[in-house]
Amino acid sequence: MEKRILSAYALIITACLSISCGSKNIQHERKNFTLEQFQSQYEVQQANYIQNLRVISDDDSSVEILRYALNCKSTLICQTALKKIYSLNLKIYKKEIKDIINKKDGVTRYLAFKVFSQDSIESDDLNLVVNYLNDREWLVREICVRQMRKYSTEKKEKKYFTKLLLMLNEKNPDVVKELYRTLKWYDESEAFKFLFQRSFHASTEIEQVFILRELAEYKKPIVKNRLNNISRYNKSFIVRQEAKELVNQW
């Protein structure tokens, strides 16, 4: 076992130094290869490094291998390390994770935020989450909105409540769902007002169905009336059927 871990460590170090980090040795040898040969060698070696990352466990040696992989310039190696850390629920890489969030591409940031969400919650971390609420990558926006619900002090202070309200023109339905759930987490009565109003202006069928399901949980007469109207007059068959089912479940 120890020999295999040391072998994996050596492979990851080699990957980061010789391939992803563009060492002088590789640049020198490249002159003797065709582009196709060089690309083929790169892909094979990187696949081997990634496979070794996937099979390591959470012992002391592996912890250092993963730390080294996080700092590698290869996106695939970094992403594989993040997935492994998440699956092992390791909570010792906060500094490295923050660096990745601030420096890497959208998908890698999303994977880093997943790991970040497993770590202990500190009030100072909220600023990092808020900074990426408007990220170009929708996966990052979704997980950041969801992570807002981890900060109990924010629920009391509502410092970013208005910011989330201004995000309700969001196009992605998964992000919209998390927005409504977070608004409800802040204040159910306030969230109800916006949910009810939005039921008249939902931008997609998916959003409308989600809103109706959330509204139905309030069990208010005004909601039942709204559901009855939608079940009769909405243009979408899917939305009408959803409204009918919610009324039947009342």
The pLDDT, as a whole number, for residue 48 is 65
The tokens for 152 are 């109990």
pTM of the model: 0.74
Output the CA torsion 116→118→120→124 (10° steps).
Answer: 30
| Closest C-alpha to 40, from 19, 54, 10, 24 | 19
The pLDDT, as a whole number, for residue 193 is 86
The pLDDT, as a whole number, for residue 173 is 85
The tokens for 145 are 């909105």
The pLDDT, as a whole number, for residue 69 is 86
At 78 the three-state DSSP class reads: helix
The pLDDT, as a whole number, for residue 58 is 67
The pLDDT, as a whole number, for residue 201 is 85
The pLDDT, as a whole number, for residue 22 is 46
The pLDDT, as a whole number, for residue 21 is 45
The tokens for 211 are 């809103």
148-154: list long-range contacts, CB under 8 Å, 24+ apart: 148/182, 148/185, 149/181, 149/182, 149/185, 150/117, 150/121, 151/121, 151/123, 151/126, 153/123, 154/126
Domain segments of the chain as ranges: 1-120
DSSP summary character for residue 87: H
Per-residue pLDDT of the chain (250 residues; tens, 9 = 90+): 454 545 555 555 555 544 444 444 444 454 555 656 555 665 666 666 777 677 676 666 677 888 888 888 888 888 999 999 998 888 888 999 999 999 888 999 999 999 998 877 777 889 999 999 999 999 999 999 999 999 989 999 999 999 998 898 888 989 988 998 999 999 888 888 888 988 998 888 888 998 999 899 888 999 999 999 999 989 999 999 999 999 998 8
